[in-house]
Amino acid sequence: MTAVRCVDLCKTYRQGEEDIKALDHLSIEIVEGGFVCLSAPSGGGKTTLLNAIGGLDKPDSGEVYIAGRRIDNLSKGELAELRLRKIGFVFQAFNLIPVLTARENVEFVMQVQGVPAAERGQKALDILEEVGLEGLEDRRPADMSGGQQQRVAVARAIVSRPALVLADEPTANLDSKTADGLMELFRELNDHHNTTFVIATHDKRVMSYAKRLIRMLDGRIVEDIAQDAA
């Protein structure tokens, strides 16, 4: 079963007088339960591809399908609903809501999804325990380390068990030990819950965890290799 399918995607940005091709007739297919790393130098188009897959940005042309449903022609509201229910995001800068505690940050998305209070409270506690943050539920982001914050962000992204998790440089602000811990967590979720992961990175250690490594350059796929994960 295909989790993500992109067909002939093009996206051009204008930078000053120059047109930058972020996606250049790119096509890709990712199966359910895939653990894919997108690797490219800065400006290579990996974040643009991630944004297109997540419905955060629309391609100039081409088609994007998530679980068989075309999404590039959906409205803003429909895309928001899709992201809310089907896709989890993990960002480089953690991006937690600073005035909410770890537990509340995780609960917030569930509240928007309409999960009843008691259920979401328990789910938040369970997922925080699962990502190794037991006992830190009531801390605010400012009182947590970078690794802990990223774990909260991961917990927030996966608490609703989305079919697809998109991570953009998730280890960029983490030390190597914490980064390894995070990747182990991703792999565990991938193995146990069959969650599809698409991770944009240029961290070689992160790439070593991937089952499939896609190298991009100037908006094109230059290498697509299946590999044995670390």
Partner 1 sequence: MNLVFRLAWRNLWRQPRRTWLTTGAMVFSNTLLVFMISLQFGMYGLMIDNTLQAFTGHLQVQAPGFIDDQKMRQTVEGIVPLANELRGEFPDQHVAARANGFALISSAERSYGVAVFGVQPEYEPRVSTLPGLVATGRFLEDNDATEIVIGAALARNLKVGVGDELTLLGSGKDGSFAAAVVNIAGIFDSGIPDFDRSITEIPLGLFQDVFYMNGSGHHIVLNNGGISGVAELKARVEATLPSDQELAVHDWDRLQPGLQQAIKADMSSAFFMYGILVVLVAFSVLNTQLMSVLERTHEFGIVMSLGLTPGRLGRLVLLETAIMGLLGFLLGTFLGGLLTAWLSVNGFAYPGMEEMAVKFNLPARFYPEVSTLSLISGPMVVFLFTIIAALYPALRLHRLHPVEAMRAV
- Amino acid at the residue 105: N
- The whole-angstrom separation of Cα 129 and Cα 123 is 10
In whole angstroms, how close is the CB of 230 to partner 1 at the nearest point? 29
Question: Where does residue 159 fall: left (phi above 0), alpha (psi -120 to 50 degrees), or beta otherwise?
Answer: alpha
Q: Does 80 bind partner 1 (CB under 8 A)?
A: yes
Q: Interface mask (CB under 8 A) for partner 1, residues 94-133, using x and -? A: -x-xxxx---x--xxx-xxx--------------------
- Per DSSP, the residues of 88-135 read EEE-TT----TTS-HHHHHHHHHHHHT--HHHHHHHHHHHHHHTT-TT
- The whole-angstrom separation of Cα 140 and Cα 134 is 14
In whole angstroms, how close is the CB of 69 to partner 1 at the nearest point? 16
**How many DSSP H helices and E strands does the chain contain?**
7, 10
Q: Does 141 bind partner 1 (CB under 8 A)?
A: no
Choose the stretch contacting partner 1; rule: CB under 8 A; options: 82-90, 190-198, 203-211, 220-228.
Answer: 82-90
In whole angstroms, how close is the CB of 75 to partner 1 at the nearest point? 10
In whole angstroms, how close is the CB of 226 to partner 1 at the nearest point? 29
Minimal CA–CA distance to 198: which of 30, 7, 5, 55? 30
The residue from 6, 36, 89, 196 that contacts partner 1 (CB under 8 A) is 89
- The whole-angstrom separation of Cα 19 and Cα 208 is 33
Q: Residue ranges of the alpha helices (H) in 114-169?
A: 117-130, 146-158
In whole angstroms, how close is the CB of 98 to partner 1 at the nearest point? 8
In whole angstroms, how close is the CB of 99 to partner 1 at the nearest point? 4
With contacts defined by CB under 8 A, how many residues of the chain interact with partner 1?
A: 28
Q: Interface mask (CB under 8 A) for partner 1, residues 153-182, using x and -? A: ---x--------------------------
- The whole-angstrom separation of Cα 153 and Cα 60 is 30
- Amino acid at the residue 172: A
User: With respect to partner 1, which residue has the nearer C-beta, 56 or 136?
Assistant: 56
Interface with partner 1 in residues 17-76 (CB under 8 A): 51, 54, 56-57, 76
- The whole-angstrom separation of Cα 31 and Cα 175 is 31
Contact residues toward partner 1 (CB under 8 A) are 51, 54, 56-57, 76-77, 80-85, 87, 89, 91, 95, 97-100, 104, 107-109, 111-113, 156
